[in-house]
Structure formats: C-alpha cells, structure tokens
Amino acid sequence: MVTKLFICSTPLQLINIINLRLTVGDDSKATLYLYNQSKVFDELFQRIITTKLFTNVYYLDTIKFNHRHWIRKIKYIRYIIDTINYINHKKISKKFIDDPEKYNEFWVSTMDRSSWMFFMTYKKRNPLIELNFFEDGLGSYTMLLTEQSKVSQYLLTFLGFKSYLEEMKSLYVYNPKLCEQSSKNGTSVLSMPSIQGNQKLDQFIYDIFKFDLKKFPKNVIFFEQPFPQKDNWSNQRDLILWLSKKLKEPLFIKMHPRSKSYKYSNCQVISSISVPMEYIYANFNIENNTLISVFSTACLSPFYMFNKEPQVILLYKCLGLDKKNDYDPKFIKFITKIKNSYKQKDRFLIPATLEELENILLKKGLI
C-alpha cells in the first residue's frame, strides 16, 4: 500500500489536501503534518482527527524554525546556516517528530526549511520517495521558473541530494494552462480536481471549519496585506481610508491572517473567517462583488481556480510597487496574464494614479 505524507501550514493547503485525499489515490495510507503557522489550527486540530481522513495527524511547532530572521538576508551567513541544517537534517527532523514511517510519497505546497529537513530525512530512508507539489496560490504557478543558487546546488550535490525543483515529480494546480513552466524542468503539471460541487468535500469542510456561507458580504471588499516595509503598509492604510470616504456603500476589509488588528473608520473589518476565501469563491456568486487590493492573490484566485470573473481593481501601481525591486517580476507578469485572459476586459483594472482610480469608481457607480 502507498504511504503518503502531507505537509500543511495554511487553511487553503488543508482544503487542497482534503481534495487530493478524496480524489487522487484515496485508498492509500496517509499522514498529515500540521504546522502551527496558522493560529486557526489550534481549534481545528481535533476536528481534523475526528474526520478519520488520515491515519495519523501530528501538530508540529515549526513556526520559530521557519521564521525568516533578518540575519538570513546576508547571503554568506545564510549559506552557513543552510549547510549546518543540511548536515544535521536527521537530528532537526527528530526534534519536531520521531516518525519511523517509510513514506512513498511526500506532498507539499511550499518547501520551507522544516519541510526540506523532513524530505531529506525521508529521502535517505527511501531513495524512491516521490516529491509532489500542490496548489497554494500564485506562487505555485511561477515556482517552476525559480532558479537554485549555484552554491546551494554544489552543497546539495556534495551531500548526495538534488534541489527540490529537480526532485519534483508533479505539480497539481487548478489551471495548468496558466502555469509558467521552464523547459529545463521535467515536472508533470497536472490539473487539481475542482472543489466546486463536491458534496463529500463540502461535508468535510463544514465538519472542520463550521463556517456559514451566508455570513459573507456582497459589497466591495478590500484585501489587506501584511507588508513588512512600513512605508508600503502606511500607504496601503491611507488608500483604505481614502476609499472608505469615497464609496457609497460600506467598505469591507478582509484582514490577512498574519496582520495585526487595526481599526479603520467607516469600514467593516472581516478578521474572524477561518475558512479560506477560495472555498467561499467556490460556493458563492463572487462575480457580484468588487475585489480591491494592492496585489493580493485573493483577487486572482476566483479566475485561476474557478474561471469566475469578479470585478477586480489592483492598486500596486498607485503605490509605485511596479517600479521597486522588492517584488518578483514573475508575479507582475502572472497578474498581467490573468488580466489579459479576462473575457470582459473592463472588469480587471490596474489604475496608475488616484485620479484614475476615482474615475474608475465613478464609472462603475461605486461613488
């Protein structure tokens, strides 16, 4: 029997794992490693066990190990830290969990530091283990273009490993046509089964998240983002306050799970939704909403996951982020690809100035 290990660190990943569990080789034995990256898992952990979807469920404290400390921005110090971690991967893995299982398949969305330690450990135990990736938003569609540094390549080769991009057997996404694939990579890009209209999945999701879809607002929604740069966060806050004064209807603000609470006047803040927005999109007529953000993937996923075309307004040009070096050009390229794929071109807009934004809102009858 095939033995699978699923790595989960966000609610969206959990839904996609359940989807895969029900549709791709569902007769296999499966273990779930649940990372404490999301506080909502404190509440969901026991409910996940109750579903009996997984043979074993482990809740692991990986948040400190995966934290991107400022010192890792220094290239050569990062290489030294990675070298120490690679050499001691077995000891590091054992600190998290002493799991004697010999897995056939390793399933993950993003290869963070703890996941890489686990994979290296289980790869040594079973050289034939397969590495599979699954949908986790925009990054999944551009990950095959990622380039491994030469130093990391030499180090991994010296220790008897390949990079995770070389190890990757398959990548499951909801819209393979949008996936940017490097000609150098032999990874199979496969279609994730849709989560729309799957009653069995719906029941599992309700049993775990206990969310009532009737609570979802039908107005303009701004998806806040936790920018690490203070000036970008301040500029985003000013945009939100500007919008709240201009719009006819109350502005709903969906706070990012990692963001600190902030009180916005004349706004209704949504901060308590535990279920991922993508699941709401699958079961809600989101095309009646206007979704606004700097460039949150929550505005893009209705299209690339469900082929829905809600009204989208992205404001990254208003903040001048398209001219900064802080952001990966692959993401901007992917946003442009979705914009060009919209059948109704006037429903996906990227204003460059506040004046242009105001004209858009006026034309749409929102102010």
Q: Look at residues 139, 138, 186 and name the one whose alpha carbon lies nearest to residue 162.
A: 186
pLDDT band at 75; cut points 50, 70, 90: low
Mean pLDDT of the chain: 84
**Distances from the Cα of 251 to the Cαs of 78, 257, 277, 336, in angstroms?**
42, 19, 17, 26
List the single range of 62-76, 91-105, 201-215 with lowest mean pLDDT. Answer: 62-76
**Rounded percentage of the chain residues whose pLDDT exceeds 70:** 83
Half-sphere CA count of 317, side-chain side, radius 13 A = 14
Domains along the chain? 3-209 (3.40.50), 213-363 (3.40.50)
Return the exposure string of 140-162: e unless at least 16 CB atoms fall within 10 Å of the residue's CB, then b.
bbbbbbeeeeeeeeebbeeeebe
**Rounded percentage of the chain residues whose pLDDT exceeds 90:** 35
Q: pLDDT tens-digit profile of 169-221?
A: 999 999 998 887 765 667 899 999 888 878 888 889 888 988 766 666 668 89
Dihedral sign computed on CA atoms, order 263, 269, 272, 274:
negative
pLDDT band at 82; cut points 50, 70, 90: low
In angstroms, rounded to a whole number, what is the distance separating the alpha carbons of residues 278 and 103?
30
Q: pLDDT tens-digit profile of 293-339?
A: 998 888 999 999 888 999 999 999 998 887 766 567 788 888 999 99
pLDDT band at 86; cut points 50, 70, 90: low
Q: Are strands 29-35 and 3-8 parallel, antiparallel or unpaired?
A: parallel
Q: What's the gap between Cα 17 and its chain centre?
A: 13
Determine the pLDDT at residue 14.
94
In angstroms, rounded to a whole number, what is the distance separating the alpha carbons of residues 102 and 91?
17
Q: Look at residues 92, 107, 87 and name the one whose alpha carbon lies nearest to residue 62.
A: 92
Stated pTM of the model: 0.84
Q: Are strands 290-293 and 267-270 parallel, antiparallel or unpaired?
A: unpaired
